[in-house]
Structure 1
Amino acid sequence: MQLGINLLCLSGFIEAEHIDHLHRLKDLGYDGVEVPVLRGAPAHYEWLGRELDRIGLRRTSTSVIPSALANPVSADPAERLAGRQHLDWAIDCAIALGSESLGGPVHAPIGHFTGQGATEDELNHGAEAHHALAERAQANGMIISLEPLNRFETYFLNTTEQAVAYAERVDHPAFRIMYDTFHAHIEEQSQPRAIARLGRHLGVLHVSENDRGIPGRGQIDFAAVFAAIRANGHDGWVTLEAFGAGLPELAAATRVWRPLFPDFETLFAESILFLRQQWADAAP
């Protein structure tokens, strides 16, 4: 297992002012960080990659589809083209960063709905875009880890069953699925059964409590989740995702209107102890 933490808890754009936090994460024993790729140019992420190398942290990355006007699954050819161009920008930044995975909901804009589930045309448009993205990822030693979201954030992919069918539609060895325990807590009847169904398609595990706060303080049965993950054979990235109210655009998108952890030190230190213990306790 490689244990990481999504840096959206700090900011949507990681800069020099955040470097002290990165050193603290290394000191606590995190193997790497998950860097949000939401804005900026590849040159910035190349700089950040050098800083992470100096600290000794590996990295993955996440991005989103920013707008319905740049949507790779749109029926409109111009919007699809803009969406493909956005995906190319995101992977350019991830390559510059030295990322091992580009993940997140890089399928449809968060909060954008059509009044129905994904159509065959939308699924085919997405699969074409993600196959091309996976080709670029594989050529650069990366994987794509696409994240289904709950039904209140997207209509495109919500369940593990849908995600597996979509992965088979994309049909590329570098295309995987990011499994998020928060979204699955809403959508799945059984998280262990969903993880078993995901099987070889699992790319990155997002550990996120039901309130998006510190794992272990809420309702999710992480003992069952980690037992299923270890039975699955996953030995890759296990990444903490906790959100705060300090990033206005993220708070608005995820409906976070209150502090979900008391401070960064508590989040960082308590979470790594909990996750390491859960992994150890779930050993076969």
Structure 2
Amino acid sequence: MNPLGIHALVWAGDVSPESVNKIISSSKQAGFDLIEFSLHEPKPLDFGYTRELLKEHAIKPAFSRGLAFNADVSSDDPAVVARGVALLTEAINITQQLGGDYFGGVPYSALGKYNHPITAQGRKHVVETLRRISGEAADKGVKIGLEVVNRYESNVINTARQALELIDEVGTGNLCVHLDTYHMNIEEVDFVRPVLECGDKLGYVHIGESHRGYLGSGTVDFTAFFHALAQIGYTGPITFESFSSTVVAEGLSNDLAVWRNLWNNGMDLATHAHAFISAQAKGAGLGVTDRPY
């Protein structure tokens, strides 16, 4: 069965106790099994309070983050790389402490536009970093996902094939590919071949429209994508991701260039997304459930 998830930024732009309560209760009310929290700015996240709320609402957490250029693990500078490794280690520890078993996002570079290709030394640092953190994460029961993002957000991997090549180069068993339909719409030739190529290396999925607004109102071929997921027997999370200037997390919103107001009502957006994803999944022959993940 595929757990259906939703990104916390549909509900709130920070992780204060009041916002965490809104994120968790609203996600459950909208029918989701999983919440993805961004760890770009993890303070003032209250671990005990968040754990109890997740347990009370019987909903599973997943976590993600990107890195800034001063903590870029693809940098040539070892000091910059070390800052990135420290942030990733912190994120893995938070994931474990809050009962999660998945940490993803962009743990392989800064989240932003580069003006040059990655260097050989930078690539070496990426591989070394991923070997290190995937080992640490495995010891804590946490899987690491490499989200494939577009050329304006990283110069390391922009396609599923590049992600698979990087995973092979790292050579550990605790990495998986994370595909996002928003990024695929920019970089991939279609929505089928990348999924088939990933096969059992696909561990996490983001469902996002071409403009990151309401599903079905853009150019993404969701029918082809969901049928490809069914073809490989995908059973992992399917998480809705959408951003609007209505809800702002300053650091992440700036990194992702969230300048436009694409929606005002998070609950309307979320319930529409849940119905849309459920219909697509069932139409393709995937299993979805309202039970906690």
**Same-fold status (TM-score > 0.5):** yes
Matched residues in 2 for 1:234 and 1:129: separation? 28
Q: Output aligned runs, 1:111-126, within 5 Å.
A: 111-116=112-117, 118-126=118-126
Q: Output aligned runs, 1:16-55, within 5 Å.
A: 16-18=17-19, 19-40=21-42, 44-55=46-57
Paired position in structure 2 for 1:86: 87
Paired position in structure 1 for 2:278: 276
Q: Output aligned runs, 1:104-253, within 5 Å.
A: 104-116=105-117, 118-245=118-245, 246-247=247-248, 248-253=250-255
TM-score (norm 2): 0.91
Render the CA deviation track for 1:211-270: whole Å, top value 9, x for unaligned: 001222211110100000111111011000001113133332222222112311111110
1:11 Cα deviation (Å)? 3.3
Aligned AA for 1:204? Answer: Y
Render the CA deviation track for 1:157-204: whole Å, top value 9, x for unaligned: 111111110011112221111101101100001110111111122111
Render the CA deviation track for 1:24-55: whole Å, top value 9, x for unaligned: 32133211100111223597234312211111
TM-score (norm 1): 0.93
Matched residues in 1 for 2:71 and 2:65: separation? 13
Matched residues in 2 for 1:263 and 1:115: separation? 39
Paired position in structure 2 for 1:13: 14
Cα RMSD after superposing both structures: 1.8
Matched residues in 1 for 2:46 and 2:244: separation? 24
- Any idea what SS the aligned residue of 2:69 has? coil
Alpha carbons 1:100, 1:142 under 8 Å: kept: yes
Matched residues in 1 for 2:139 and 2:44: separation? 17
Q: List alignment gaps of at least 5 residues for structure 2.
A: 287-293
Aligned AA for 1:145? Answer: G
Aligned AA for 1:282? Answer: A
Aligned AA for 1:135? Answer: G
Matched residues in 2 for 1:29 and 1:258: separation? 27
1:71 Cα deviation (Å)? 1.6
Alpha carbons 1:64, 1:106 under 8 Å: kept: yes
Matched residues in 1 for 2:219 and 2:105: separation? 23
Alpha carbons 1:68, 1:112 under 8 Å: kept: no
Alpha carbons 1:146, 1:177 under 8 Å: kept: yes
Matched residues in 1 for 2:253 and 2:69: separation? 19
Paired position in structure 1 for 2:265: 263
Indicate the larger mover: 105-114 or 218-227.
Answer: 105-114
Alpha carbons 2:113, 2:151 under 8 Å: kept: no
Aligned AA for 1:258? Answer: R
Paired position in structure 2 for 1:103: 104
Indicate the larger mover: 259-268 or 42-51.
Answer: 42-51
Q: List alignment gaps of at least 5 residues for structure 1.
A: none
Taking a change above 3 Å as real, the CA distance of residues 275 and 119 of structure 1, as seen in their structure-2 partners, is same
- Any idea what SS the aligned residue of 2:203 has? strand
1:149 Cα deviation (Å)? 1.2
Higher relative contact order by CA 8 Å / sep ≥ 6: 1 or 2? 2
